[in-house]
Structure 1
Amino acid sequence: MRVVLAGGSGFVGQKITELLLKEGHEVVILSRKEKPAEPGVQYVTWLTEGSAPEESIGSADAFINLAGVSINDGRWTKEHQKQIYDSRMIATDELLRIISKMPEKPSVFLNASAVGIYPTSKTVIYTENSQEVDEGILGRTVRDWEQKASSLKDFGIRTAYMRFGLVLGKNEGALPLMVLPYKFFVGGKVGSGRQWVSWVHVKDVARAAIHLLNTEQSEGPFNITAPFPVRMNEFGKTIASTLHRPNLFPAPAFLMKTALGEKSTLVLEGQFVTSEKLIASGFEFEFPTLASALDDLLN
């Protein structure tokens, strides 16, 4: 399979690329910078003046869209929130343009998304059938991102939206910052501790993406979250247990809001999100429990 990947140099994109190559697929990574080809990987310049990526791509069996400014980088100023939104709309518009120019269309398009589309709640259980949309920056961004990508169905292209939970990685994503206080023996409850964390190991994110590429009936939204969400208090206790550190020093909500601004909602609020549709499609998680995921990542 020849797969075009936008956002291939990012945290999740690197893991998906590794797995695609391991399984013998050919990868085309769209990049703003010119890079020499590597075994199995072609780099194609896009989103720069004068670039015409469709001419270099040629044909492709699948597209995966992960492109967009990271929500984990920096404080959520108004400008950064605008960049989070605009970067995803601009990149997706360009992918739609590229595909419209291709004589032979890809058979499948996977678009990154997030469980941030759902409103925060300590009691509601969300599935892919849930219709509620959060009115914050993440909810609006995800809603509009998925709607834009959905126009590919007009070309007869199977389209799926990967609604990622909190993606856990050893050196990237949110986990290193969450672990840091524990390494200095000052970890503890964050906020109320009762907020839900719908998490997923980055390896299972990559495996889920390949699964959706290969499962022909899979389309629409898929929650990419491990089957056992936990409350933040349990998340902290599991980090402490894995690292053999205490879990004694709380981080009050007002301190988190002062330090992170609106971005603090990522750790102070959450949602219980199920992955029933993904599991029903035949996917099995390698790391279904938080203890197994943290043991792999931290030990």
Structure 2
Amino acid sequence: MKILVSGLINIETNIAIGNFPIHYCPIEYSFNKVNFDISGVAYNVMNALSVLGDEIIPVSIIGKDPFGNFIKENLEKICLSTKNIVQELDATCTSVVMFDDQGKRKVYCDLKNIQERCISLKNIEHDISNCDGIVICNINFNDELIKNAKKIGKPVFTDVHILTDIHDSYNKRFLEQSDVVFLSDEGLPCCPEDFVISIYNEYKNNVIVLGQGEKGALLFDGTTEQFYFVKSVYTRPVVNTVGAGDALFSSFVHYYLKGLKPHQCLEKAVYFASYKIGESGGAKGFVSENKLEEIIKNA
């Protein structure tokens, strides 16, 4: 499948800590507990889909700084085109992830001035016309793309992450225009089923998936108006849960575009996400489709 992915790419630092809360001390020495790499929702999704065997069209905005150059060089190394990677920020976005061995994490994401930017739909129209599906991350520079998504006529996927109000002014455009919507169960104002139904009643998405961490994931199929719950699985010891949601989302997109039924896509996706969190870093720990099928078969 050929998939256009538009969203955030940033530099990420992962720090393994003892436990939360963190007690103050002026300095702490560690060995092999701090890792620095490229990440960001879009980069994680691009990597995951690429490893699964899809052809990716990356779209993003990065800095004119050495970090931006580092990102472009690495995209080229993994055979991803950089023609739609715009270097116009003074500084590349960065994040710091603190995580413990219980699966808890705290993320600090510095978006610099990226929310003031916008990707021109005209510049990527040709690529859109040649793809099988579009992943549109919920970042401001996708405003023109998401508002015209229905007119494009291709399956549109988004992950709004944390949502507490279905009328949220920032995420409303993404909810209105997407065929498949992912979100987390963190901070829900009511029970998961009621919240998902309220989203469906308002936006009529084809599929809504609510990630529930170590419990698993809840799916609502809008075509049949049925719920499916898929339990989490264990594939290998957990190292860092950052990027688990992106992995779940990516693998779902991959199988959905291959024509599997939504609940079948999710059943495979929980294995993909489970294996991914056995490695530290949002864009690491992914496996090919063949390897994933082997993991599922041997479970």
In proportion to residue count, which structure has more helix?
Answer: 1
TM-score range, shorter chain: 0.3 to 0.5
In proportion to residue count, which structure has more strand?
Answer: 2
TM-score (norm 2): 0.39
